[in-house]
Protein backbone atom coordinates (compact mmCIF):
# COMPACT_ATOMS: atom_id res chain seq x y z
CA UNK A 1 0.00 0.00 0.00
CA UNK A 2 1.24 3.46 -0.84
CA UNK A 3 0.75 6.07 1.81
CA UNK A 4 0.61 9.76 0.77
CA UNK A 5 3.44 11.92 2.08
CA UNK A 6 1.89 14.22 4.67
CA UNK A 7 4.97 16.43 4.86
CA UNK A 8 4.73 17.64 1.31
CA UNK A 9 4.97 21.42 1.02
CA UNK A 10 2.67 21.52 -2.01
CA UNK A 11 -0.20 19.36 -0.80
CA UNK A 12 -2.50 20.00 2.17
CA UNK A 13 -5.15 17.48 3.09
CA UNK A 14 -8.40 18.55 4.71
CA UNK A 15 -8.46 18.13 8.49
CA UNK A 16 -10.84 15.62 9.95
CA UNK A 17 -13.09 16.77 12.78
CA UNK A 18 -10.91 14.90 15.32
CA UNK A 19 -7.75 16.53 13.97
CA UNK A 20 -9.41 19.95 14.17
CA UNK A 21 -10.21 19.45 17.86
CA UNK A 22 -6.60 18.53 18.59
CA UNK A 23 -5.09 21.40 16.59
CA UNK A 24 -3.74 24.71 18.05
CA UNK A 25 -6.39 27.37 17.41
CA UNK A 26 -3.90 30.20 17.95
CA UNK A 27 -1.38 29.05 15.42
CA UNK A 28 -3.28 30.14 12.34
CA UNK A 29 -4.40 33.36 13.92
CA UNK A 30 -0.85 34.22 14.96
CA UNK A 31 0.37 33.61 11.44
CA UNK A 32 -2.44 35.72 10.05
CA UNK A 33 -1.82 38.59 12.45
CA UNK A 34 1.96 38.59 12.28
CA UNK A 35 3.14 42.10 11.50
CA UNK A 36 -0.42 43.38 11.49
CA UNK A 37 -0.20 45.54 14.61
CA UNK A 38 -0.94 49.15 13.65
CA UNK A 39 2.11 51.36 13.58
CA UNK A 40 2.46 54.06 16.21
CA UNK A 41 4.88 56.10 14.12
CA UNK A 42 2.30 58.75 13.36
CA UNK A 43 1.63 59.31 17.04
CA UNK A 44 5.33 59.42 17.79
CA UNK A 45 5.84 61.97 15.06
CA UNK A 46 3.12 64.16 16.51
CA UNK A 47 4.65 63.92 19.98
CA UNK A 48 8.20 64.54 18.83
CA UNK A 49 7.06 67.49 16.76
CA UNK A 50 6.61 69.44 19.98
CA UNK A 51 9.86 68.30 21.62
CA UNK A 52 11.88 71.20 20.35
CA UNK A 53 12.94 74.67 21.41
CA UNK A 54 12.67 73.14 24.90
CA UNK A 55 8.95 74.03 24.84
CA UNK A 56 9.52 77.72 25.41
CA UNK A 57 8.61 79.96 22.52
CA UNK A 58 11.43 82.28 21.51
CA UNK A 59 9.82 83.72 18.40
CA UNK A 60 6.42 84.80 17.13
CA UNK A 61 3.65 82.85 18.85
CA UNK A 62 1.86 81.98 15.63
CA UNK A 63 4.83 80.16 14.12
CA UNK A 64 5.25 76.41 14.28
CA UNK A 65 8.24 74.88 15.99
CA UNK A 66 10.83 72.97 14.02
CA UNK A 67 11.55 69.28 14.16
CA UNK A 68 15.04 69.37 15.61
CA UNK A 69 15.87 66.80 18.23
CA UNK A 70 15.86 68.07 21.84
CA UNK A 71 19.04 66.13 22.56
CA UNK A 72 21.09 67.62 19.76
CA UNK A 73 24.42 69.20 20.68
CA UNK A 74 23.78 72.90 21.19
CA UNK A 75 27.35 73.94 21.93
CA UNK A 76 30.85 72.49 22.34
CA UNK A 77 30.17 72.20 26.08
CA UNK A 78 27.08 70.00 25.79
CA UNK A 79 28.74 66.70 26.54
CA UNK A 80 27.60 63.83 28.77
CA UNK A 81 28.90 64.79 32.19
CA UNK A 82 27.77 61.86 34.30
CA UNK A 83 29.15 58.32 34.56
CA UNK A 84 25.96 57.27 36.31
CA UNK A 85 23.48 57.64 33.49
CA UNK A 86 21.69 54.35 32.92
CA UNK A 87 20.80 53.15 29.43
CA UNK A 88 17.11 52.27 29.44
CA UNK A 89 17.21 50.26 26.24
CA UNK A 90 17.61 47.06 28.27
CA UNK A 91 14.44 47.71 30.25
CA UNK A 92 11.74 45.09 29.56
CA UNK A 93 9.21 46.25 26.98
CA UNK A 94 5.88 47.25 28.44
CA UNK A 95 2.41 47.12 26.95
CA UNK A 96 2.01 49.49 23.95
CA UNK A 97 -0.72 51.33 25.84
CA UNK A 98 -0.14 51.02 29.58
CA UNK A 99 -2.77 53.66 30.29
CA UNK A 100 -5.59 51.46 29.00
CA UNK A 101 -5.53 49.54 32.25
CA UNK A 102 -7.27 49.68 35.60
CA UNK A 103 -5.92 52.63 37.59
CA UNK A 104 -4.10 50.52 40.12
CA UNK A 105 -0.78 51.12 41.85
CA UNK A 106 0.24 47.61 40.88
CA UNK A 107 0.01 47.51 37.09
CA UNK A 108 3.20 48.00 35.13
CA UNK A 109 3.92 51.53 33.93
CA UNK A 110 6.44 52.81 31.39
CA UNK A 111 8.50 54.22 34.28
CA UNK A 112 11.25 52.55 36.29
CA UNK A 113 12.85 53.87 39.46
CA UNK A 114 16.57 53.43 40.08
CA UNK A 115 17.74 54.05 43.64
CA UNK A 116 21.16 55.54 44.20
CA UNK A 117 22.58 56.46 47.60
CA UNK A 118 19.11 57.05 49.05
CA UNK A 119 20.54 57.17 52.58
CA UNK A 120 23.58 59.20 51.65
CA UNK A 121 23.80 62.22 53.94
CA UNK A 122 26.22 64.15 51.75
CA UNK A 123 25.44 67.83 51.35
CA UNK A 124 24.24 67.97 47.74
CA UNK A 125 23.89 65.10 45.32
CA UNK A 126 21.83 62.57 43.37
CA UNK A 127 19.77 60.02 45.29
CA UNK A 128 17.67 58.41 42.54
CA UNK A 129 16.41 58.40 38.98
CA UNK A 130 12.97 57.78 37.49
CA UNK A 131 13.30 56.75 33.85
CA UNK A 132 10.55 56.68 31.26
CA UNK A 133 10.91 54.35 28.30
CA UNK A 134 9.49 56.78 25.76
CA UNK A 135 8.64 60.45 25.78
CA UNK A 136 10.06 63.54 27.43
CA UNK A 137 9.22 64.98 30.85
CA UNK A 138 7.74 68.47 30.59
CA UNK A 139 6.17 69.19 33.99
CA UNK A 140 6.44 68.32 37.68
CA UNK A 141 4.53 69.09 40.84
CA UNK A 142 5.01 67.82 44.39
CA UNK A 143 2.65 67.74 47.35
CA UNK A 144 3.78 66.03 50.55
CA UNK A 145 4.93 62.54 49.65
CA UNK A 146 3.28 62.65 46.21
CA UNK A 147 5.05 63.55 42.99
CA UNK A 148 3.16 64.25 39.76
CA UNK A 149 4.97 63.96 36.43
CA UNK A 150 3.64 65.13 33.07
CA UNK A 151 5.06 64.04 29.73
CA UNK A 152 4.32 64.07 26.02
CA UNK A 153 2.33 60.86 26.49
CA UNK A 154 -0.61 63.14 27.46
CA UNK A 155 -0.77 61.40 30.83
CA UNK A 156 0.13 62.19 34.42
CA UNK A 157 1.93 59.68 36.64
CA UNK A 158 1.66 59.81 40.41
CA UNK A 159 4.50 58.68 42.67
CA UNK A 160 4.07 58.03 46.39
CA UNK A 161 7.25 57.96 48.45
CA UNK A 162 9.10 57.64 45.13
CA UNK A 163 7.21 54.44 44.28
CA UNK A 164 4.99 54.16 41.22
CA UNK A 165 1.51 54.69 42.66
CA UNK A 166 -1.03 55.37 39.91
CA UNK A 167 -1.73 57.42 36.82
CA UNK A 168 -4.50 59.26 35.02
CA UNK A 169 -4.84 60.29 31.40
CA UNK A 170 -6.14 63.16 29.31
CA UNK A 171 -7.76 62.80 25.93
CA UNK A 172 -5.25 64.98 24.10
CA UNK A 173 -2.49 67.53 24.51
CA UNK A 174 0.85 66.86 26.18
CA UNK A 175 1.07 68.04 29.78
CA UNK A 176 3.04 71.31 29.93
CA UNK A 177 2.31 72.45 33.49
CA UNK A 178 0.83 71.09 36.76
CA UNK A 179 -0.27 72.86 39.96
CA UNK A 180 -1.94 71.43 43.09
CA UNK A 181 -4.32 73.22 45.44
CA UNK A 182 -4.69 72.71 49.16
CA UNK A 183 -8.06 70.97 48.71
CA UNK A 184 -6.46 68.21 46.62
CA UNK A 185 -7.41 69.52 43.18
CA UNK A 186 -4.91 69.19 40.36
CA UNK A 187 -4.89 71.66 37.45
CA UNK A 188 -3.02 70.68 34.29
CA UNK A 189 -2.25 72.89 31.29
CA UNK A 190 -1.96 71.21 27.92
CA UNK A 191 -0.53 71.72 24.45
CA UNK A 192 -4.06 71.68 22.99
CA UNK A 193 -4.94 74.90 24.86
CA UNK A 194 -7.07 73.24 27.55
CA UNK A 195 -6.88 73.40 31.33
CA UNK A 196 -8.13 70.20 32.93
CA UNK A 197 -9.17 69.77 36.57
CA UNK A 198 -8.72 66.55 38.54
CA UNK A 199 -9.42 65.40 42.08
CA UNK A 200 -7.84 62.60 44.04
CA UNK A 201 -9.66 60.06 46.19
CA UNK A 202 -9.03 56.64 47.67
CA UNK A 203 -10.11 55.10 44.36
CA UNK A 204 -7.68 57.19 42.31
CA UNK A 205 -7.86 60.39 40.28
CA UNK A 206 -10.79 61.46 38.14
CA UNK A 207 -11.35 64.46 35.91
CA UNK A 208 -13.97 66.75 37.43
CA UNK A 209 -14.01 69.45 34.78
CA UNK A 210 -12.08 71.86 32.63
CA UNK A 211 -11.56 75.60 32.27
CA UNK A 212 -13.69 77.27 31.16
CA UNK A 213 -16.57 75.17 32.45
CA UNK A 214 -19.09 73.91 29.93
CA UNK A 215 -21.81 76.06 31.47
CA UNK A 216 -19.77 79.24 31.18
CA UNK A 217 -18.63 78.35 27.67
CA UNK A 218 -22.20 77.91 26.44
CA UNK A 219 -23.41 81.04 28.22
CA UNK A 220 -20.66 83.25 26.80
CA UNK A 221 -20.68 81.79 23.31
CA UNK A 222 -24.11 83.22 22.40
CA UNK A 223 -22.91 86.82 22.72
CA UNK A 224 -20.74 88.13 19.83
CA UNK A 225 -19.11 90.65 22.21
CA UNK A 226 -17.37 87.77 23.99
CA UNK A 227 -15.30 86.89 20.93
CA UNK A 228 -11.96 88.26 19.82
CA UNK A 229 -10.28 88.03 16.43
CA UNK A 230 -7.01 86.09 16.64
CA UNK A 231 -6.22 86.01 12.95
CA UNK A 232 -7.94 86.89 9.73
CA UNK A 233 -11.46 85.49 9.63
CA UNK A 234 -11.01 83.55 12.85
CA UNK A 235 -12.73 84.59 16.05
CA UNK A 236 -12.43 82.74 19.35
CA UNK A 237 -14.11 83.04 22.71
CA UNK A 238 -12.11 85.34 25.01
CA UNK A 239 -12.42 83.09 28.05
CA UNK A 240 -10.73 80.18 26.26
CA UNK A 241 -7.08 79.74 25.29
CA UNK A 242 -6.60 78.98 21.61
CA UNK A 243 -2.94 77.95 21.83
CA UNK A 244 -0.78 75.93 24.23
CA UNK A 245 -1.22 76.63 27.95
CA UNK A 246 2.44 77.05 28.90
CA UNK A 247 2.19 77.97 32.59
CA UNK A 248 -0.08 78.02 35.65
CA UNK A 249 0.30 79.70 39.03
CA UNK A 250 -1.83 79.75 42.19
CA UNK A 251 -2.62 82.47 44.69
CA UNK A 252 -4.71 80.54 47.20
CA UNK A 253 -4.94 83.49 49.58
CA UNK A 254 -6.90 85.38 46.94
CA UNK A 255 -8.54 82.20 45.63
CA UNK A 256 -7.16 82.72 42.12
CA UNK A 257 -5.53 80.64 39.41
CA UNK A 258 -3.49 82.33 36.67
CA UNK A 259 -2.85 80.78 33.25
CA UNK A 260 -0.44 81.97 30.57
CA UNK A 261 -0.51 80.82 26.96
CA UNK A 262 1.28 80.96 23.65
CA UNK A 263 -1.79 82.90 22.48
CA UNK A 264 -0.19 85.89 24.33
CA UNK A 265 -3.00 86.14 26.88
CA UNK A 266 -3.10 85.93 30.67
CA UNK A 267 -6.33 84.61 32.15
CA UNK A 268 -7.53 84.87 35.75
CA UNK A 269 -9.77 82.13 37.16
CA UNK A 270 -11.68 82.02 40.45
CA UNK A 271 -11.00 78.76 42.26
CA UNK A 272 -14.34 78.60 44.07
CA UNK A 273 -16.50 78.30 40.94
CA UNK A 274 -13.90 78.00 38.11
CA UNK A 275 -15.16 81.21 36.53
CA UNK A 276 -12.93 83.23 34.21
CA UNK A 277 -12.68 86.69 35.75
CA UNK A 278 -10.31 88.32 33.26
CA UNK A 279 -8.63 87.72 29.92
CA UNK A 280 -5.70 90.08 29.39
CA UNK A 281 -3.69 90.61 26.22
CA UNK A 282 -0.56 90.72 28.33
CA UNK A 283 2.36 90.43 25.89
CA UNK A 284 3.33 90.88 22.24
CA UNK A 285 4.49 87.27 21.94
CA UNK A 286 3.98 83.88 23.55
CA UNK A 287 3.80 83.86 27.36
CA UNK A 288 6.29 81.33 28.74
CA UNK A 289 5.96 81.79 32.49
CA UNK A 290 3.73 83.27 35.20
CA UNK A 291 4.29 83.51 38.95
CA UNK A 292 2.10 84.81 41.77
CA UNK A 293 4.33 86.88 44.03
CA UNK A 294 4.52 88.89 47.22
CA UNK A 295 2.40 91.93 48.15
CA UNK A 296 -0.37 90.79 45.81
CA UNK A 297 1.85 91.17 42.74
CA UNK A 298 1.81 88.94 39.66
CA UNK A 299 4.78 88.46 37.32
CA UNK A 300 4.66 87.36 33.66
CA UNK A 301 7.48 86.68 31.21
CA UNK A 302 7.26 86.06 27.48
CA UNK A 303 9.10 85.47 24.22
CA UNK A 304 8.94 89.22 23.57
CA UNK A 305 11.71 89.61 26.20
CA UNK A 306 9.53 91.49 28.68
CA UNK A 307 9.10 90.84 32.39
CA UNK A 308 5.91 92.55 33.53
CA UNK A 309 4.41 93.22 36.96
CA UNK A 310 0.65 93.23 37.52
CA UNK A 311 -1.44 94.14 40.55
CA UNK A 312 -5.07 93.46 41.41
CA UNK A 313 -6.91 96.64 42.26
CA UNK A 314 -10.49 97.70 42.86
CA UNK A 315 -12.45 98.94 39.88
CA UNK A 316 -16.10 99.81 40.35
CA UNK A 317 -17.87 96.94 42.03
CA UNK A 318 -15.14 94.44 41.27
CA UNK A 319 -11.40 94.03 40.87
CA UNK A 320 -9.07 94.01 37.89
CA UNK A 321 -5.38 93.42 37.24
CA UNK A 322 -3.42 96.43 36.03
CA UNK A 323 0.10 96.65 34.63
CA UNK A 324 2.20 98.51 37.21
CA UNK A 325 5.78 97.98 35.99
CA UNK A 326 7.96 96.49 33.27
CA UNK A 327 11.09 95.27 35.04
CA UNK A 328 12.92 94.19 31.91
CA UNK A 329 12.64 94.50 28.14
CA UNK A 330 15.33 92.67 26.16
CA UNK A 331 15.85 90.83 22.90
CA UNK A 332 16.29 87.46 24.62
CA UNK A 333 13.13 85.59 25.59
CA UNK A 334 12.07 85.36 29.23
CA UNK A 335 11.78 81.63 29.86
CA UNK A 336 11.28 81.06 33.61
CA UNK A 337 10.26 82.78 36.86
CA UNK A 338 10.52 81.90 40.55
CA UNK A 339 9.60 83.89 43.65
CA UNK A 340 11.16 83.78 47.13
CA UNK A 341 8.13 84.86 49.16
CA UNK A 342 10.06 85.14 52.44
CA UNK A 343 12.74 87.50 51.14
CA UNK A 344 10.43 89.15 48.55
CA UNK A 345 12.72 88.41 45.61
CA UNK A 346 11.70 87.52 42.07
CA UNK A 347 14.09 85.59 39.81
CA UNK A 348 13.90 85.67 36.02
CA UNK A 349 15.62 83.21 33.65
CA UNK A 350 16.34 84.08 30.03
CA UNK A 351 17.29 82.35 26.81
CA UNK A 352 20.82 83.82 27.01
CA UNK A 353 21.57 81.70 30.12
CA UNK A 354 21.33 84.50 32.69
CA UNK A 355 19.19 84.74 35.85
CA UNK A 356 18.32 88.29 36.93
CA UNK A 357 16.64 89.13 40.22
CA UNK A 358 14.74 92.05 41.74
CA UNK A 359 14.19 92.80 45.42
CA UNK A 360 10.71 93.70 46.62
CA UNK A 361 11.98 95.25 49.86
CA UNK A 362 13.89 97.77 47.72
CA UNK A 363 10.91 98.75 45.57
CA UNK A 364 11.69 96.07 43.00
CA UNK A 365 15.14 97.42 42.25
CA UNK A 366 17.46 95.20 40.22
CA UNK A 367 19.60 93.14 42.61
CA UNK A 368 22.03 91.51 40.19
CA UNK A 369 22.59 88.72 37.67
CA UNK A 370 23.48 85.07 38.27
CA UNK A 371 25.49 83.46 35.47
CA UNK A 372 25.86 79.70 35.67
CA UNK A 373 24.58 78.44 32.31
CA UNK A 374 26.12 78.49 28.85
CA UNK A 375 22.76 78.23 27.09
CA UNK A 376 19.11 79.00 27.81
CA UNK A 377 17.66 78.78 31.31
CA UNK A 378 14.53 76.65 30.98
CA UNK A 379 13.20 76.46 34.56
CA UNK A 380 13.59 77.96 38.03
CA UNK A 381 12.50 76.88 41.52
CA UNK A 382 12.75 78.65 44.87
CA UNK A 383 13.32 76.57 48.04
CA UNK A 384 13.93 78.45 51.28
CA UNK A 385 17.03 80.60 50.76
CA UNK A 386 17.89 78.57 47.65
CA UNK A 387 17.07 79.17 44.02
CA UNK A 388 17.68 76.41 41.48
CA UNK A 389 18.05 76.94 37.74
CA UNK A 390 17.85 74.26 35.06
CA UNK A 391 19.17 74.83 31.58
CA UNK A 392 19.51 73.60 28.05
CA UNK A 393 23.15 72.84 28.91
CA UNK A 394 21.79 69.85 30.94
CA UNK A 395 22.96 71.33 34.26
CA UNK A 396 21.22 72.49 37.43
CA UNK A 397 22.80 75.36 39.36
CA UNK A 398 22.04 75.64 43.09
CA UNK A 399 22.32 79.20 44.43
CA UNK A 400 21.92 80.44 47.99
CA UNK A 401 20.82 83.95 48.87
CA UNK A 402 23.02 85.20 51.70
CA UNK A 403 21.94 87.58 54.46
CA UNK A 404 23.62 90.53 52.76
CA UNK A 405 21.63 89.95 49.55
CA UNK A 406 24.49 88.38 47.61
CA UNK A 407 24.28 84.89 46.10
CA UNK A 408 26.70 81.96 46.27
CA UNK A 409 26.73 78.95 43.98
CA UNK A 410 26.61 75.83 46.17
CA UNK A 411 26.56 73.14 43.48
CA UNK A 412 26.28 72.40 39.79
CA UNK A 413 24.31 69.17 39.42
CA UNK A 414 25.34 67.45 36.20
CA UNK A 415 23.71 64.04 35.84
CA UNK A 416 21.15 64.73 33.10
CA UNK A 417 22.05 64.02 29.48
CA UNK A 418 19.30 66.22 28.06
CA UNK A 419 17.99 69.76 28.66
CA UNK A 420 16.47 70.24 32.11
CA UNK A 421 12.86 71.26 31.48
CA UNK A 422 11.25 71.50 34.94
CA UNK A 423 12.12 71.70 38.64
CA UNK A 424 10.25 71.43 41.93
CA UNK A 425 11.35 71.02 45.55
CA UNK A 426 9.89 69.90 48.88
CA UNK A 427 11.43 70.32 52.31
CA UNK A 428 12.55 67.19 54.10
CA UNK A 429 10.90 66.10 57.33
CA UNK A 430 11.72 67.95 60.53
CA UNK A 431 13.82 65.08 61.88
CA UNK A 432 16.26 65.59 59.02
CA UNK A 433 15.52 69.32 58.79
CA UNK A 434 18.20 72.03 58.83
CA UNK A 435 17.25 73.49 55.45
CA UNK A 436 17.51 70.22 53.57
CA UNK A 437 15.41 69.85 50.42
CA UNK A 438 14.45 67.08 48.03
CA UNK A 439 14.61 68.41 44.48
CA UNK A 440 13.00 66.80 41.44
CA UNK A 441 14.21 67.65 37.95
CA UNK A 442 12.49 66.60 34.72
CA UNK A 443 14.42 66.46 31.48
CA UNK A 444 14.12 65.89 27.76
CA UNK A 445 16.38 62.86 28.34
CA UNK A 446 13.17 61.05 29.42
CA UNK A 447 14.07 60.95 33.12
CA UNK A 448 13.29 62.55 36.46
CA UNK A 449 16.26 62.91 38.79
CA UNK A 450 15.87 63.08 42.56
CA UNK A 451 18.43 65.17 44.45
CA UNK A 452 19.14 66.21 48.02
CA UNK A 453 20.36 69.79 48.52
CA UNK A 454 21.23 71.64 51.72
CA UNK A 455 21.03 75.36 52.41
CA UNK A 456 24.06 75.12 54.69
CA UNK A 457 26.34 73.52 52.09
CA UNK A 458 29.68 75.16 51.40
CA UNK A 459 29.79 77.28 48.24
CA UNK A 460 31.88 76.28 45.26
CA UNK A 461 31.78 79.73 43.66
CA UNK A 462 31.55 83.14 45.29
Predicted confidence (pLDDT) at residue 91 exceeds the cutoff of 70: no
The CB-side HSE value for 164 (13 A sphere, CA atoms) comes to 20
Rounded (5°) CA angle 69-71-73:
100
Strand partners, 449: 129, 441
Grade residue 211 by pLDDT with cuts at 50, 70 and 90. Answer: very high
Predicted confidence (pLDDT) at residue 304 exceeds the cutoff of 90: yes
Mean pLDDT of 44-68: 45
When the pLDDT of each residue in the chain is averaged and rounded to a whole number, the result is 79
From 74, 168, 142, select the one nearest 394 (Cα to Cα).
Answer: 74
Give the per-residue SS3 of 415-451.
CCCCCEEEEEEEECCCCCCCCEEEEEEEECCCEEEEE
- Which residue intervals of 138-253 are DSSP H helices? 214-221
C-alpha distances in angstroms, 80 versus 11, 134, 152, 416?
Answer: 60, 20, 23, 8
**Architecture of the 125-454 domain:** 7 Propeller (2.130)
User: Given this model, what pLDDT does residue 432 score?
Assistant: 54
For 5-36, write each residue's pLDDT tens digit. 444 444 444 555 445 444 444 444 443 434 44
3-state SS assignment for residue 217: helix
What is the C-alpha to C-alpha distance for residues 302 and 337, in angstroms, rounded to an integer?
A: 10
The pTM assigned to this predicted structure is 0.76
| Exposed/middle/buried for residue 441 (C-beta within 10 Å: 0-12, 13-18, 19+) | buried
Mean pLDDT of 443-459: 91
Mean pLDDT of 95-112: 43
| Exposed/middle/buried for residue 82 (C-beta within 10 Å: 0-12, 13-18, 19+) | middle
Q: What share of the chain is helix, strand, coil (3-state, %, to 5)?
A: 10, 45, 45
3-state SS assignment for residue 12: coil
Chain centroid, CA 243 distance in Å = 16
User: Given this model, what pLDDT does residue 169 score?
Assistant: 84
What is the C-alpha to C-alpha distance for residues 119 and 261, in angstroms, rounded to an integer?
A: 41
Strand duo 306-315 + 297-302: pairing:
antiparallel
Chain centroid, CA 181 distance in Å = 17
What is the C-alpha to C-alpha distance for residues 195 and 212, in angstroms, rounded to an integer?
A: 8
Question: CB within 8 A of 381, min separation 6: which ones?
Answer: 338, 387, 388, 423, 424, 425, 439
Mean pLDDT of 207-226: 92
3-state SS assignment for residue 197: strand
User: Given this model, what pLDDT does residue 107 score?
Assistant: 42
User: Given this model, what pLDDT does residue 317 score?
Assistant: 83
* Sequence spans of domains, the chain: 125-454
Predicted confidence (pLDDT) at residue 278 exceeds the cutoff of 80: yes
User: Given this model, what pLDDT does residue 171 score?
Assistant: 80
> E strands within 303-435?
306-315, 318-329, 334-340, 345-350, 354-359, 365-371, 377-383, 386-391, 396-401, 407-413, 420-427
Predicted confidence (pLDDT) at residue 73 exceeds the cutoff of 90: no
C-alpha distances in angstroms, 36 versus 24, 44, 438?
Answer: 20, 18, 46
What is the C-alpha to C-alpha distance for residues 53 and 41, in angstroms, rounded to an integer?
A: 22
| Exposed/middle/buried for residue 227 (C-beta within 10 Å: 0-12, 13-18, 19+) | middle
| Exposed/middle/buried for residue 262 (C-beta within 10 Å: 0-12, 13-18, 19+) | buried
Amino acid sequence: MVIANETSGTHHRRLTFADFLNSDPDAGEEEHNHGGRPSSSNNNNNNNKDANSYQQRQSNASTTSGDSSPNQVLSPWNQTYSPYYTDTTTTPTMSPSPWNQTYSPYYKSPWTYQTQNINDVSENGLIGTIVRQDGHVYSLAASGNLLFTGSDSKNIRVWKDLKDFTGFKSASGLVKTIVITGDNRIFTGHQDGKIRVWRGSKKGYTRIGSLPTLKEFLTKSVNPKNYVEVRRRRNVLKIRHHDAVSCLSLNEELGLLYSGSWDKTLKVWRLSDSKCLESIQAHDDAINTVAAGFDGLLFTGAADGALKVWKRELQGNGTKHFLVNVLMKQENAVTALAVNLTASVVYCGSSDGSVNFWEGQKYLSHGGTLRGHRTAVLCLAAAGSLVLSGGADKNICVWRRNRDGTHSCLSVLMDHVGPVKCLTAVEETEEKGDGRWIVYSGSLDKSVKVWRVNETASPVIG
